[in-house]
Amino acid sequence: MGYTPLRISTVKPGRELPFDLYIFFKETYLCYTNRGAAIEDEKYLKLKKQKIAKFYITEKDEPNYQRFLDQLLNETMNSPTATTDEKVNLVEGACGTAVERMQKDPESESSYRMTQNAAKSLRQVIANNPDALKKIFGKKASDADLIIKHSLNVSALATKLAEKCRLEDKEVDDIATAALIHDVGIAKLEKSEQDLFKKDKKQYSNDDKRLYNFHVKDAISVLKDKPWVTKSIIDLVINHEEVLSGHGPNKKSKLSKSEEILSLVNNYDKRLITSDKGPKAVIKDMTIDEVGNYSLELINKFKEVLEAEGLLE
């Protein structure tokens, strides 16, 4: 039997769960709650605090979980009483679960659909809650969760920048989805190569560059023949490391507005999440290092977004 990971923040206490919930403990999957049961509030709080257990459902229950989560997202996002924190936590859980599933099984259509839905909800939370972006960027990621947190950050911020650039609705949705999956290829690299994510790009040797660039190829080789992945998503993922000077892995120098936005925000967050520098210092570095890589107009718009969202404090 196959198991699929999920984040406990996507399961609400006191609500009947239409699936069996498992934990992975001492190398085995144990059924934690049975279909039709709910997790009590007290138990739930304990679980969240402990962070020791990982939660799973069986592959068979995936559609049941998805329906449950869609309903919960819908309810929470439209609830007049749910706080911004509740909304942000739920949407982070949905995005995290989706990205983790894509890392584990990038071939799966249901993982991809889940990513699309999570991206839409993330966009919605940010658009309707002025504090949401700040709350998202205020949280630090554990080392194990670095890529997942990075993907969420890029999705949240790129969406905001895309809206500021007045891109069409569909283009913004595509950016939000592509941003969540753009680095799934990193999970396919060797452990030592994965650590390149944390290394400053200016320090990359030619070998580092060659190896790191595989994460783009690896993602594309899996996604390109899937009928549910559109060409615009493929283009965004394949070009997320490209820059206008033509020094990216594909040596592409003509980028669509969407591609340039994703590349810029990706570059910014990789620097931010892997160094001790704050947003102000990172932006300053970028205005020096990235001359010719992004249009000045876009960099300035990006700064305006960071400023307006209170992310430069």
Q: Which residues bind Fe ion (CB under 5 A)?
A: 183, 266
Cβ proximity to Fe ion, 157 vs 167, nearer residue: 157
Q: Which residues contact 51 (CB under 8 A, 6 or more apart)?
A: none
> Minimum distance between the CB of residue 197 and Fe ion, rounded to whole angstroms?
8
> Minimum distance between the CB of residue 21 and Fe ion, rounded to whole angstroms?
31
- Distance in angstroms (rounded) separating the CA atoms of residues 114 and 19: 17
> Minimum distance between the CB of residue 160 and Fe ion, rounded to whole angstroms?
17
> Minimum distance between the CB of residue 262 and Fe ion, rounded to whole angstroms?
9
Place of tokens 């970028």: 286
63: how many CB neighbours lie within 10 A of its CB?
12
- Distance in angstroms (rounded) separating the CA atoms of residues 79 and 75: 6
The CA distances from residue 121 to 50, 89, 105, 158, in Å, are: 27, 12, 22, 14
Cβ proximity to Fe ion, 173 vs 183, nearer residue: 183
Cβ proximity to Fe ion, 69 vs 272, nearer residue: 272
Cβ proximity to Fe ion, 76 vs 103, nearer residue: 103
Q: Which residues contact 263 (CB under 8 A, 6 or more apart)?
A: 239, 240, 241, 242, 243, 248, 255, 294
> Minimum distance between the CB of residue 150 and Fe ion, rounded to whole angstroms?
6
> Minimum distance between the CB of residue 62 and Fe ion, rounded to whole angstroms?
27
Cβ proximity to Fe ion, 118 vs 216, nearer residue: 216
- Distance in angstroms (rounded) separating the CA atoms of residues 241 and 178: 13
Contact by Cβ (8 Å): 119, 96: no
Cβ proximity to Fe ion, 62 vs 242, nearer residue: 242
Question: Sheet holding 28-33: strands in order across?
Answer: 3-6, 54-58, 21-25, 28-33
Cβ proximity to Fe ion, 93 vs 249, nearer residue: 249
Q: What is the DSSP string of 61-90?
A: GHHHHHHHHHHHHHHHHH-SS--HHHHHHH
Q: Which helix (H) or strand (E) holds 289?
A: helix 279-289
> Minimum distance between the CB of residue 182 and Fe ion, rounded to whole angstroms?
5
